[in-house]
Amino acid sequence: MTLGELALLAIAAIAAGAINALVGSGTLITFPTLIAFGVVPVSATMSNAIGLVAGSASGAWGYRRELRGQWKRLRWQVIMSLCGALVGCWLLLHLPETVFATVVPGLLVLALLLVVFQPRIQDWVRRRTGGSSDADAPLGRGRMILLLVGTFAVGIYGGYFTAAQGILLMGLTGALLSEDLQRLNAAKNVLALVVNVVAAVTYTLVAPDRILWDVVLVIAVGSTIGGLLGARYGRRLRPGALRVVIVVVGLIGLIRLLMS
């Protein structure tokens, strides 16, 4: 890649890091950029996934304050994300890409609907269970099972096709947990980071010769900056504004996927 292309990629990586910290789906910015610059899809996928790990880490660190009180539940979700990501990476090595490509748009639509109707769903859950908004309050067995199974499923999706896993996680957790969006976003950043690390390690071990390390470096630096910016300014958004950002980014990602 030329210096000009790397400079444009750096800008795209900053935007992707910020969007990942806020919503997820930053891949839908950097991946098409790499394809437009002539990088073959497999190398673009692997290089992009490894580069965005740094941005995911910076986003998770930036939201560390909102993670307080969530670890009793989150530790089990981390385990499920890790296991799901391993399964997803195995599928990536054994199944044609078209298998998941056919269901991705439907998953995105479902996630966006969950985000849009999250307040009503949470009100319904509270009325049925008498639940509290306290993050440390124990969940009922049914909701906990749904949460862990859903987290595992999103982990599989993320290990296979990393784009938009953040929106799926926000939709899932928003429907099942009595939490505000900023705290859910912090948890999402941790879970997405776990999946991204598993994918990056797998790509590095399996096909290091197909990874473009100059691209990885540029995306890593750019997404780290973007992740810190997204975490800093994202927590200032009100729940309604953050919900709008999630839906807009999700719709853009859906359109990109349908047009690809």
- Summarize pLDDT for 139-166 with one digit per residue, the tens: 778 889 999 999 999 999 888 777 678 8
**Pairwise CA distance, residues 99 & 94, whole Å:** 11
CA distances from 63 to 5, 48, 66, 117, 227 (A): 31, 23, 6, 24, 10
pLDDT score for 125:
55
**CB neighbours of 145 closer than 8 A, spacing ≥ 6?**
none
At which residue do the structure tokens 């992009």 appear?
A: 48
Please check whether residue 57 is in contact with residue 193, taking contact to mean a CB–CB distance below 8 angstroms.
yes
**Both structure tokens of 47:** 């290089």
Question: Residue type at 187?
Answer: A
The total number of structural domains that make up the chain? 1
Q: What is the pLDDT of residues 60-76, one digit of tens each?
A: 898 888 888 888 899 99
For tokens 């199944």, the residue is: 95
Nearest to 95 by CA among 83, 105, 87, 84: 87
- For the chain, the residue count is 260
What token pair was written down for 250?
């999700």
User: Which pLDDT tens digit goes with each residue over 195-252?
Assistant: 999 989 998 998 888 899 999 999 999 999 998 998 888 767 776 776 777 677 667 7
Q: How many CB atoms are closer than 10 A to CB 7?
A: 13
Domain that holds residue 159: 3-259
What is the DSSP code string of 156-192? HHHHH--TTHHHHHHHHHHHH----HHHHHHHHHHHH
Q: Tens digits of per-residue pLDDT, 86-136?
A: 998 888 778 776 776 677 677 767 777 776 776 776 666 556 555 544 444
Question: For residue 86, what are its two tokens?
Answer: 């391993």
Is residue 156 within 8 A of residue 88, CB to CB? The reply is yes
